[in-house]
Amino acid sequence: MKRLGLWAMALLLGLLVAVPVFAQEIKVGVPLAMTGPYTDTGDNYWKGIKMAIDEINEAGGLLKKKLVPVRFDTQEFAPERVMQGADYLCGQEKVMSVHAGWAGWGQDIRAYGKYDAPFFADDGSQAAVDVFKENPADFANIFQLTDTGINQAASMFRVLMALPYEYPNKKVVIIHADDAWGQEVGDTLEKNFKEKGWEVALKEKVPYGTREWGPILTTIRKINPAIIHVEIVSAQEVITFFRQFMKAPTSSILSYGYSIVPREVVETMGKEADGLIGEVPTAMPTPKAPTPEAQAWVDKFEKIYGHRPQAGSWAAYSGVKAWAAAVAAVGDETKLKEVNQYIATQGYKGETGMWKWDAEHVMRAGGDVPIGHYQVQDGEMVTIYTDPPTKPYLDFKFIKPRWIK
């Protein structure tokens, strides 16, 4: 009897898969990491996507139809998983667009390129762009919301060189994660520094999950570099690094690149993080937005979620809005090719200005959508530069970190 009961439970678990169906609706695919180490990044995108969908539905829907998100858990972007997601969302559920955030480094392009529904990603990967270039006609539905890692790294370098600060020496230490993103950024930075006559005294690739930095810090203290760049997009690695660094800090600018973006970094450390610098591509500058519309968006986001927008939220939001604008213009959400054509040629008018995708369907940094460079000041991220072109943002200033003597 007991066994039967347990069996009944197992069966019940299996039946947890009823999906309700409405008459007038448009399905929107949302494949994000909902489990595993990238869950927090996935959350960032979801906040932006949800905000856009709610906004559209509150305003009476898209072409008077209700937008319904269909979620899929991409876990850790294993190629097979990504492909399954594409088959599920585009093949089975027949969604009219897909909003994926960080979704891989090329496997996502192949998986979704097979279908025609517009696919918005935030890969930041040259490898993904290379896949696109193999067959631009087939992959016409792919839209990258951010520039590549190579361009982002170049931008980080330009801003580091532009800081109103005199470096005591020309030595740099680069620490990056052993994933495709970390490798791309690490290699580009190394190249840039070397070209400028800097000495890359240490370039270290570290696995995710590294939380004991003693051995590396010992070496760093011996080198005493002018810049330490850390590129690991995960909070606990960069926080532990900072705390252990601060035990006996060297006079180095601590540059975190995209590692600054997990919300947990500033949320966990607060004012302790003051002085750190980093970047966000396709960024909504804060605390003061560049336009009144943008300011309104930031205020609304803060009202809903209780904190400043995170990296990715705005990009993902804009992806949904760009697609919705195209559908409204075409007048039929099922004319996928026309919608893609519209997005590629017409772009989208967003809160900060015009979004224009280039021939490779990448939202290149610059113009109205530059890369934002931040410094943590008073426990919050403050935009101090935008790039390209490299220029200080409004009257926010770089402050020399407290640990530099």
Within 106-135, the residues that bind other proteins by CB under 8 A are: 106-107, 110, 114, 127, 131
211 makes contact with other proteins (CB under 8 A) = yes
Comparison of 76 and 378: residue with beta carbon closer to other proteins: 76
CB 40 within 8 A of CB 101: no
CB 315 within 8 A of CB 355: no
**Min separation Cβ 18 and other proteins, Å:** 10
Total of chain residues touching other proteins, rule CB under 8 A: 74
- 11-30 residues in contact with other proteins (CB under 8 A) are 13-14, 16-17, 19
Residues pairing with 277 in the sheet: 255, 375
Comparison of 196 and 211: residue with beta carbon closer to other proteins: 211
In this chain, which of 95, 140, 173, 180 binds other proteins, going by CB under 8 A?
A: 180
Measured CA to CA, the distance from residue 93 to residue 78 in angstroms comes to: 21
Write the Ramachandran bin of 172: left for phi over 0, alpha for psi from -120 to 50, otherwise beta: beta
Measured CA to CA, the distance from residue 67 to residue 60 in angstroms comes to: 10
DSSP state, 382? Answer: E
The SS3 call for residue 403 is: coil
Comparison of 360 and 368: residue with beta carbon closer to other proteins: 360
- 53-82 residues in contact with other proteins (CB under 8 A) are 70-73, 75-81
CB neighbours of residue 246 within 10 Å: 12
In this chain, which of 97, 210, 313, 352 binds other proteins, going by CB under 8 A?
A: 210
**Min separation Cβ 30 and other proteins, Å:** 10
- 329-368 residues in contact with other proteins (CB under 8 A) are none
In this chain, which of 178, 332, 358, 378 binds other proteins, going by CB under 8 A?
A: 178
- 224-283 residues in contact with other proteins (CB under 8 A) are 235-236, 239-240, 243, 247-248, 262-264, 267-268
Strands 97-101 and 25-32: parallel
**Min separation Cβ 55 and other proteins, Å:** 23
- For residue 389, is the peptide bond before it cis, meaning its omega torsion is within 30 degrees of 0? yes
**Min separation Cβ 248 and other proteins, Å:** 5
The SS3 call for residue 229 is: strand
In this chain, which of 49, 62, 174, 216 binds other proteins, going by CB under 8 A?
A: 216
CB 62 within 8 A of CB 20: no
Q: Please identify, among the stretches 5-13, 354-362, 384-392, 397-405, the one whose residues bind other proteins according to the rule CB under 8 A.
A: 5-13
The SS3 call for residue 209 is: coil
